[in-house]
Structure 1
Amino acid sequence: MRRVLLLLPLLLGGCSCQPESARAPDDRPPPVDVSAAASLPQDTSAADALRAAPAALSAVAPGAENETTTVRNYINVLLRPDRAASDAFWRGGSAGSRPDDYVLRGIPDLRTLRVDTEVPIARDTAVPSRLREVPVRVRAVTAENTFYYDGWYRLQPRADGSGWEITGASIQPVLR
């Protein structure tokens, strides 16, 4: 009974949970009337500049495949026995005598490859970024085993700006 009497003054007057109307107004701006904004004259040059901004901030030509798509396409081409097709994704059209991702290229009796990519990371301070790193997780299935790899591919724009090319990779086996 004493506990109820001690809590009674707090409930009647000193409670910090006041109704919404008793709270101080917040600093949010008033809502915008969309119908009034629609009647204002449109500045077409500003709208055109906003539409062109993403293209201007891209290191490759508009419509070119992005970094993650380039990596995915490269991984899919690794399933083919023709190494010229996979080498075409590398800078200069060649992965070199010992490519950075040789562990994937050297899997015997490879049946399927699955790649999960993450958001590309800018590895330089240029705007737009000209050196990107795409983190990957790869699952390789052979006739006898399944192998897992984690790593990344580094890409840069092709010299003509038509898309991305691979400049390096780091692929490491993962135990699961």
Structure 2
Amino acid sequence: MRRVVFLLPLLFAGCSCQPDPAPTQTPAGTAATDPAAASAETTPAQGEGLGTIAPPVLSAVAPDAPSETITVRNYIYALLGSDRKSSDAFWSGGHTSARPDDAVLRGIPQLRNLRVDTDIPIARDTAQPSRLREVPVRIRAITAEGTFHYTGWYRLQPRPDGSGWEILGASLQPALE
């Protein structure tokens, strides 16, 4: 118990939650006379603490645009509707090919329930920020004939105007579960 009492003052003496001292400003046109102060002004802070602001995350799309996973989910739920133009608008160029990559989902008859699970998007290029993303998906479709499972991915790229993501390609395969 005595050890705790002796260590308590040491704990608060070097606490990182104490505010940093206010930076000293030199009048304009005068050079700092202390070499340590001059180097502190020109070099970045070493060992940034919790009080610093993190640099913004680079993104290839607008900051208020839906994420890649939300784009894929919105597309799949739009696909279930009867208006194919609204679901095709999620694809690059605003339309799919004659045989879409995810034709298996487009052809599910008498769909009763659909569950879409997405994983964290994977960058498929080395650009910073990434301009080609792949979203892994697991889909469970319940129909009048039974339950079907699919696994695969959707590849996305930024829209030409940077307003959000658009689907570039997909790969879905039936899975046994």
Give the TM-score taking structure 2 as reference length. 0.72
1:53 aligns with 2:35: no
Aligned to 1:23: none
Residue 40 of structure 1 and its aligned partner are, at CA, apart by 3.4
Question: How far apart, in 2, do the equivalents of 1:127 and 1:97 lie?
Answer: 33
Structure 2 SS opposite 1:53:
coil
Question: How far apart, in 2, do the equivalents of 1:131 and 1:50 lie?
Answer: 28
Aligned to 1:154: 155
Aligned to 1:134: 135
Report 1:26-175 matches (<5 A).
32-37=15-20, 39-41=21-23, 50=53, 53-54=56-57, 57-175=58-176
With over 3 angstroms needed to count, the CA separation of the structure-2 counterparts of 1:156 and 1:31, relative to structure 1, is: farther
Report % sequence identity: 65
**CA deviation string 1:36-57 (max 9, x = no partner):** 42x434xxxx9xx956622xx1
Residue 98 of structure 1 and its aligned partner are, at CA, apart by 0.5
Unaligned runs of 5+ in 1: 1-29
More helix by share: 1
Q: Residue type of the partner of 1:163?
A: G
Question: How far apart, in 2, do the equivalents of 1:92 and 1:32 lie?
Answer: 56
Residue pair 1:79, 1:112 contacting (<8 A) in 2 also: no
Question: How far apart, in 2, do the equivalents of 1:173 and 1:111 lie?
Answer: 18
Question: How far apart, in 2, do the equivalents of 1:91 and 1:175 lie?
Answer: 31
Q: Residue type of the partner of 1:151?
A: G
Unaligned runs of 5+ in 2: 1-12, 24-43, 45-51
Question: How far apart, in 1, do the equivalents of 2:64 and 2:154 lie?
Answer: 21
Q: Residue type of the partner of 1:166?
A: I
Question: How far apart, in 2, do the equivalents of 1:163 and 1:59 lie?
Answer: 8
With over 3 angstroms needed to count, the CA separation of the structure-2 counterparts of 1:34 and 1:100, relative to structure 1, is: same
Name the larger-Rg structure: 1
Question: How far apart, in 2, do the equivalents of 1:124 and 1:144 lie?
Answer: 40
**RMSD between aligned residues:** 2.1
Residue pair 1:87, 1:95 contacting (<8 A) in 2 also: yes
With over 3 angstroms needed to count, the CA separation of the structure-2 counterparts of 1:51 and 1:33, relative to structure 1, is: closer
Q: Residue type of the partner of 1:92?
A: G
Question: How far apart, in 2, do the equivalents of 1:154 and 1:31 lie?
Answer: 50
